[in-house]
Amino acid sequence: MFKNSWPLAMLAAGFAASTTLAHAHEIVGNRFFPATLAIDDPGVNDELALPTISVSKTGDDPSFKQLDVSAEFSKRITEDFAVSFAPTWSRLYAPGGPVMNGARGFQNLETTFKYRLFKNAEHEFIMSVGLEIEWGGSGAQDVGAESFTVYTPTIYFGKGFGDLPSSMDWARPFAITGQVGYAIPGVSQTSVASIDPDTGEQDIDTEFHPRVLNWGATLQYSMPYLKSAVVDLGLPDIVNRLIPIVEASMQTPVSNTATSGTVTTGTINPGVIYVGNTYQFAVEAMIPVNRQSGTSVGVIGQLHFFLDDIFPTSIGRPIFGNGIASGRPIFGR
């Protein structure tokens, strides 16, 4: 049974890794969009997420515990264009792994190119586009790293509700962000030949690699925004630095689904982000949306450094561009 589900496990592990890595933060007018954990946010910046640690129980049959430890380094090339690199190390506990005794190793390296397309301070709106590439063969197949490269063009957006009328002041600290990506495997199928031990005949197992819609969103309530732009209630500083958040990250196979099926998998992540001046710390629960997404609630935590604030005159600034650190996208302001 497990042998049959192993390709699915690898598929799930691969897409899970690809959707829990990239992060950024962004300031748009009054609004600070924090780096988020389950999906990427629309920000383009110099930053380092180190480490991101998650523990969950997979949706395989039988289910097993998986530990992921990842990092991400994002570097602006210009004010609006950045490249990020994100390695992830995974440990699959028994009965995970190809022979059910566990496995450990790196997932495929992920690289993301992201461009900030639009930014409007008045309406606290931002939109970016990107291309995420998971480099096939750069990780260990035992932990689910595929031998082929996956390309995921993605759209990211963020919208703060600070432009609501004053009669709805209570809602102005809310913001949403979201992303929609389309993961395109570099090869559509792989086949493995084996000898049937009973008949001695050759079997060929073919696995089809689906194209997957990676979609997700966050809903966040910014206490820093409440204090600095709506009403200063005189709350303790630690409370004024919190952003309660709910994230949703989903994966839906949409084509070439003969062996993968079309069931949407993902997690809903309620949590909280603490925002410091040069870093943020976040912790979230990971609640699977169905049996195929996991068998119990997991947890994810991340420490994230704002390199543009820590090293504003060296590695925290764009390689090309002027020295004033303010986004100047091609549209909007």
Partner 1 sequence: MRTIILVFSVLLAAVPGSAFAHAMLDHAEPRVGSTVSPAPKEMVLWFTQQLEPAFSSIEVRNEQGATVTAGNAAVVGDRTQLRVRLKALLPGTYKVIWRVLSVDTHRTEGNFTFHVRQ
In the complex, what is the shortest distance from the CB of residue 310 to partner 1, in angstroms, rounded to a whole number? 5
Q: How far, in Å, CA of 193 to CA of 202, rounded? A: 7
- 308 is a contact residue toward partner 1 (CB under 8 A): yes
Among 224, 242, 297, 315, binds partner 1 (CB under 8 A): 224
- 166 is a contact residue toward partner 1 (CB under 8 A): yes
Cβ–Cβ under 8 Å, residues 286 and 266: no
8-state DSSP, 80: T
Interface characters, 8-47, with partner 1 (x: CB under 8 A): -------------------x-xx-x---------------
Identify which of residues 29 and 266 has a Cβ nearer to partner 1 in the complex. Answer: 29
Cβ–Cβ under 8 Å, residues 101 and 123: no
308: nearest Cα among 319, 299, 316: 316
Give the count of residues interacting with partner 1 (CB under 8 A).
Answer: 37
- 232 is a contact residue toward partner 1 (CB under 8 A): yes
- 51 is a contact residue toward partner 1 (CB under 8 A): yes
Among 73, 129, 140, 169, binds partner 1 (CB under 8 A): 169
| Residues from 265 through 304 that contact partner 1 (CB under 8 A) | 276-279, 281, 301, 303
The CA-CA-CA angle for residues 269, 43, 233, to 5°, reads: 65
**Residue position matching structure tokens 């991340």:** 302
Cβ–Cβ under 8 Å, residues 185 and 150: yes
* DSSP helix/strand/coil, 226: helix
Among 2, 5, 6, 53, binds partner 1 (CB under 8 A): 53
In the complex, what is the shortest distance from the CB of residue 183 to partner 1, in angstroms, rounded to a whole number? 30
In the complex, what is the shortest distance from the CB of residue 184 to partner 1, in angstroms, rounded to a whole number? 35
Identify which of residues 185 and 298 has a Cβ nearer to partner 1 in the complex. Answer: 298
Among 39, 92, 229, 282, binds partner 1 (CB under 8 A): 229
Identify which of residues 27 and 109 has a Cβ nearer to partner 1 in the complex. Answer: 27
The alpha-carbon radius of gyration of the chain (Å, integer) is 21
Q: Say which residues have a Cβ less than 8 Å from residue 58's Cβ, sequence separation at least 6.
A: 9, 12, 13, 64, 65, 66, 96, 294, 295
The two tokens of residue 275 are: 């925002």
Q: Which amino acid is at 309?
A: D
Cβ–Cβ under 8 Å, residues 169 and 232: no
Which residues contact partner 1 by CB under 8 A?
Answer: 27, 29-30, 32, 50-51, 53, 121, 166, 169, 224, 227-232, 234, 276-279, 281, 301, 303, 305-306, 308-313, 323-326
